[in-house]
Structure formats: structure tokens, C-alpha cells
Amino acid sequence: MNKRSFGVLAPVVLWLSFFMVIPMLAVIFVSFMQRDNLGNIVWTFSLDNYARFFEPLYLGIYWDTIWLSVLTTVFCLLLSYPLAYYMTTLGPKAQKFWLIGITVPFWINFLIRTYAWIILLRTQGVVNSLLMDIGLISEPLQMLYTQGAVLLGMVYTFIPYMVLPIYVSLEQMDKRLLEASSDLGASRWRSFWHITLPQTKSGMMTGSVLVFVTTTGMFVVADILGGAKSQMISNIIQNQFLGARDWPFGSALSVIFVISSLVIIGLFNRALRSSYDSSKEAKA
């Protein structure tokens, strides 16, 4: 590399080192520190923050978070796959139209998309008044500020994240295999189950990792639709930094959050690779 291109690259490398790498290292460092009563960081080494994570309260919240993320991922997968599949059966023009339709929500602020559900779900909201108008219920239902509302908001937010990777893998799959299997007399369902589904595993995996990890870090949906009742690990982290002012504990929770995300991504990748290897073996 010559001197000039080094000069062109240096500002970006410096910027990202200073504002991305160093802060990340600082989080790890602070997670081993303590704090005083005023919320200042005390620079003495301790493992207390990590020990505190294993208190039943935090373990419980962590478990709830994982469970909510799993449910969100499964619902997104079940709802998105048929839509992605449907898109690939359309002609090029219609396909492009649907693709734009599924991309636009990415660019509508998730805060706004979450807020929309308050209009729908609150006690005097659209859903309650509709149900009362048609006489299905006589009293408004409590839908907002429940766990169900949080799950709904999460699924709603992340469906596009799931549709796109699945759509891409459906588009890229080898369609000659389907013709071959139908020529050999396999039913459509059988072809789907034995050819399409295995071939689109990578898309489903990518979508699942994306949805799972993003759900875990999304404190806003739980905050807005779940009220005080619903706490996710990301709500606790956010509160340690902006409310309770226990930065070392918040940092420790962040480190745990990142490590567990990496472990989950690793597990997904491993499952994907082993299934890929076994399919290669089957072919050979």
C-alpha cells in the first residue's frame, strides 16, 4: 500500500478505533469495576457484577428474555415462510412490487411502528371498539401492557427481517430439482418437504439469528407495549445506565448479552454447517 492510500484510509481507521473499538473495550473493563453510592465508577477490580447476574431476579428476567426471543423467532418464521414462498411464485413485476412492500417497513421508524399498536390495543382503542361494536365483547379487554402485546409488537417489528433472507434463499435454490422430483411423480407437498425446505435452511437460519439477536436487544417494544410489568434484559441494561446509574453492573449485563448472542449465532452456524455437510454426503 502506498503512502497516499494510507493517508486516505487512516482517518476512518482512527475514527472507528476511537469511537467503536475503545468504547467496546471500555465496557468490558468497566464490567469488572465497582461503583460508589453516587453512581461513580470506583476503579477496583471485582467480579461482583457477574455474581449479581446469578441472583434469581436477573436470571428470571434473562430466561424470560430468551423465551420471548424464541417465541418471536418461531412466530416470525411460521408467518414469513409462506409469504416469501408466495412471492417467488409471482411474475417479475409483481415480485418486485411485493419486494418493495416488504422493504419499506425497514425504513419506517420502529418507534412509530410500535406506537401504532397503542392506537390499536389500548382500552378505548380501535380493536376494542370494533369488537364491542360487533357485539363480541361487552367490556373492553385489557390488551395493552401485557406480555401478549409485547410478543405481538416484536413479531410485527421483525417479520420483514425474516421474509427477506428466506425469499433470497428460495430465489437462489436449484429449481431443476423440483422439476425432477415432479417428473418422478412426487406430490407437491413431498417435493416441498424434501427439497424446498432443506434447500432454504440457510435463509431460515439467517433470518432466525437476525430476529433472535435483535429482539434480545430491543428494549423499546417491551417498554412501550409492556409497561412496567414487562422487563427484558435490555430494559435492565438501559435502566442501569440511564436510571439506576450502576454502570459496572450494566456493563457486565451487556457483556453477558453479547457473549450469549455470539454463542447462539455460533450454535446456529454449526447446525447449518452440519446439515450442509450431511446433505453433501448424501449427494456423494
Per CB under 8 A, does 150 bind another protein?
A: no
By beta-carbon proximity to another protein, the closer residue of 24 and 267 is 24
Find the binder of another protein among 12, 38, 134, 184 (CB under 8 A): 12
CA–CA separation, 111 and 97 (whole Å) = 25
Least CB distance to another protein at residue 37 (A):
17
By beta-carbon proximity to another protein, the closer residue of 17 and 46 is 17
Per CB under 8 A, does 117 bind another protein?
A: yes
Least CB distance to another protein at residue 153 (A):
10
Find the binder of another protein among 20, 47, 259, 271 (CB under 8 A): 20
Least CB distance to another protein at residue 229 (A):
14
Strand partners, 41: 35
Least CB distance to another protein at residue 284 (A):
30
Query: How many chain residues touch another protein (CB under 8 A)?
Result: 90
Site string for another protein, 31-70 (x = CB under 8 A): ----------------------------------------
Residues 80-109 that bind another protein (CB under 8 A): 80, 82-83, 85-87, 89-92, 95-96, 98-109
Least CB distance to another protein at residue 267 (A):
17
Q: What are the phi and psi torsion angles at 9 (to 5°)?
A: -85, -35
Number of CB atoms found within 10 A of residue 82's CB: 11
Residue among 256, 263, 242, 234 nearest 61 (CA): 234
Per CB under 8 A, does 261 bind another protein?
A: yes
Per CB under 8 A, does 271 bind another protein?
A: no
CA–CA separation, 49 and 30 (whole Å) = 10
Cα four-point dihedral sign 223, 226, 231, 232: negative
Least CB distance to another protein at residue 47 (A):
19
Least CB distance to another protein at residue 186 (A):
13
Least CB distance to another protein at residue 247 (A):
7
By beta-carbon proximity to another protein, the closer residue of 168 and 186 is 168
By beta-carbon proximity to another protein, the closer residue of 45 and 282 is 45
Per CB under 8 A, does 220 bind another protein?
A: yes
Per CB under 8 A, does 129 bind another protein?
A: yes
